[in-house]
C-alpha cells in the first residue's frame, strides 16, 4: 500500500512526518523559527522540485541571481538522497548552518558540503549565501552498491 507524501517521514531527516515538519513551511501556514529549520525545508523543497519555495526563501538581495527556472532545472536534474546537519547556531538576526546534502546527478553520487549564512528580513529567516567545501563526485555503475548506504545495488535503489 502506498503512503502519501504527507504521512511519509520528512526528507529532512527530522524523524517527523512531512505533514508535521516541512509541509507547513512549504504551504506557508507557518514560518521557519530557526535557520536550521529553514535550511531543512529548503533541502526538502529542492528534493520535491518546489522551486518557488526555494526562491522565496532566498534573501531579497540574492533572488535576482537565483531565478526560479534555474532552481527548477537543478532540482529536476537531481535525485536527492540524504541530508546531514553538521552544526547549527544563531542569534536573533543571523545564523550559520553547516550541512552535507547527498544527491545523484546522472550516474554521479554528489555531496554538497556547505556552511550557509542566514539573516532575518522583515522578521523572517532567509538564506543569504554559503561557503561550499570541495567534495569528490563518485561515478556509480548499475551493479555497484548504492552509495546512499541502503546495501542495495544502485540499479535497484537510486538509479533513474
- pLDDT band of residue 5 (cuts 50, 70, 90) is confident
Q: Which residue(s) pair with 97 in the sheet? A: 88, 116
Topology given in CATH for the domain delimited by 22-134:
Nuclear Transport Factor 2; Chain: A, (3.10.450)
What integer pLDDT is reported at residue 148 of this predicted model? 87
Rounded mean pLDDT of 17-45? 97
Name the average pLDDT for the chain.
94
pLDDT of 3 above 60? no
- Per residue in 55-106, pLDDT tens? 999 999 999 999 999 999 999 999 999 999 999 999 999 999 999 999 999 9
Rounded mean pLDDT of 144-152? 90
The string of DSSP letters for 23-55 reads HHHHHTSS--SSHHHHHHHHHHHHHTT-HHHHH
In the chain, % of residues over pLDDT 70: 97
pLDDT of 113 above 70? yes
What integer pLDDT is reported at residue 159 of this predicted model? 82
Under the phi-then-psi rule, with left for phi > 0, alpha for psi from -120 to 50, and beta for the rest, what region is 105? beta
Residue 124 CA to residue 33 CA, distance in Å, equals 8
The structural domains of the chain, with segments of one domain joined by +, span 22-134
pTM: 0.93
Rounded mean pLDDT of 3-9? 74
Amino acid at each position: 500500500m502506498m503512503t502519501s507524501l504527507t504521512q511519509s517521514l520528512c526528507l529532512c531527516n527530522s524523524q517527523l512526518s512531512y505533514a508535521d515538519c516541512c509541509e507547513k513551511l512549504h504551504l506557508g501556514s507557518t514560518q521557519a523559527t530557526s535557520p536550521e529549520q529553514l535550511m531543512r525545508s529548503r533541502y526538502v523543497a529542492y528534493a520535491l522540485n518546489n522551486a518557488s519555495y526555494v526562491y522565496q526563501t532566498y534573501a531579497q538581495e540574492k533572488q535576482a541571481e537565483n531565478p526560479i527556472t534555474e532552481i527548477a532545472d537543478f532540482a529536476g536534474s537531481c535525485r536527492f538522497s540524504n541530508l546531514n546537519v553538521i552544526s547549527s547556531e544563531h542569534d536573533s538576526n543571523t545564523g550559520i548552518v553547516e550541512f552535507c546534502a547527498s544527491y545523484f546527478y546522472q550516474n554521479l553520487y554528489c555531496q554538497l558540503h556547505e556552511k550557509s549564512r542566514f539573516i532575518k528580513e522583515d522578521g523572517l529567516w532567509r538564506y543569504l549565501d554559503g561557503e561550499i567545501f570541495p567534495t569528490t563526485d563518485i561515478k556509480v555503475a548499475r551493479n555497484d552498491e548504492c552509495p546512499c548506504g541502503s546495501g542495495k545495488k544502485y540499479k535497484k535503489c537510486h538509479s533513474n
